[in-house]
Amino acid sequence: MLKWLGLRPQSPPVRTVQRTEEEWRRSDQLSLFLHVQHHLTSGTADWQSSLSVSTYNSLVSAGFAEGWTLPPSGGPRRHPLLDGQTISEFVTLERNNDSRPLSQVIVREAHAWDWLYRSQIAATGISFCLSLPDEAMDRLIEKVRIGEYVWSGGSTLYSFAVRLPVRREFAFPEPRASEKPYSEGPDTKPLRDVAKLGADWIEVAALDSKRFHNEPVKELPLGELFADAGPIRISFDGK
C-alpha cells in the first residue's frame, strides 16, 4: 500500500547498546573492521554531508578479525608505485532509509586519486561504501565525535572504527597500475565488483584521535585505542 501511494516505508526504531568490557573483549564473531580517520576543515562541510565525501575520509586499515582485541588481517594491499600524495583506499558513509538489513556495504575496485593534480591515475585501489538509515547514522556520528581532536588551523580529526559481522572472509583483488601511473589517465580495464554485504548490526568505536595524530600507534589492536569505554552496538530495535 505504501509503495502504491508513493510513500517511503519508515525504518524501524534503532537500538544502541554500550558494550561492556567483557563483551567487547570476546572473540566470537568474524567481522570486517574499517579503521577510518575523518578530516574536517573549518567551514568546508558539516556532519550532514561530510561523511559521504570520500576525500574527507582516510581509510587507515581494513581487514578481518573475530574481535576488537585481535589484529585485523587479509585487507586490501596498496600498489608499490603509489606515493604518499595518492589515495588508493576510499570509504564513504551514506544515509539510506530503505536499507534492509540495518547496514549495507558495497566493496568495489576504484581508480587511485592523485592529490597533487586532483585527478584519477592509471592505478587501482579499493572503495568501501557503507549505508545506514538516518537514525543509525546519527548514533554513529554521536559516537564518533567523542574522539574529536582539534589542531592547527581549525582542522578537526576524528578517528573511529566500524565492525561489520561477516559469514566468511573474501579476497581483495591485487592492485593494478601501469608502468608510469602518474603520466597516464585511468586504466581502461573495467573496475571489478568485490563484495556486497548486509548486517543486522554494526559496532562503532571512537578512537583516541590526538594519540593517532601524535604517535605511531597504527599497529596496536583497536581495543587498546578507544577514546572512551569502548564500542556501541547499533541495530534495529528487537534485533
Q: Report the Cα 204 to chain-centroid distance in Å.
A: 10
Which cell goes with 94? 551514506
pLDDT tens readout for residues 20-35: 999 999 999 999 999 9
Strand, coil or helix: what is 54? helix
Which cell goes with 203? 559496532
Distances (CA, A) of 59 to 35, 56, 159: 6, 10, 10
Nearest CA to 158 out of 35, 44, 71 is that of 35
pLDDT tens readout for residues 39-59: 877 666 676 677 777 667 888
- Residue 204: pLDDT above 90? yes
Task: Determine how β-strand 149-150 pairs with β-strand 156-165.
Answer: antiparallel
Q: How many angstroms separate the CA atoms of 179 and 112, rounded?
A: 14
Distances (CA, A) of 128 to 10, 30, 58, 90, 172: 26, 18, 11, 6, 12
Collect all residues with Cβ–Cβ distance below 8 Å to 222 and sequence separation of at least 6. 33, 35, 68, 72, 161, 205, 207
For the chain, the structural domain boundaries read 75-147+168-202
pLDDT category at 235 given cuts 50, 70, 90 is very high
Q: What is the pLDDT of residue 125?
A: 94
> Mean pLDDT across the stretch 68-94?
93
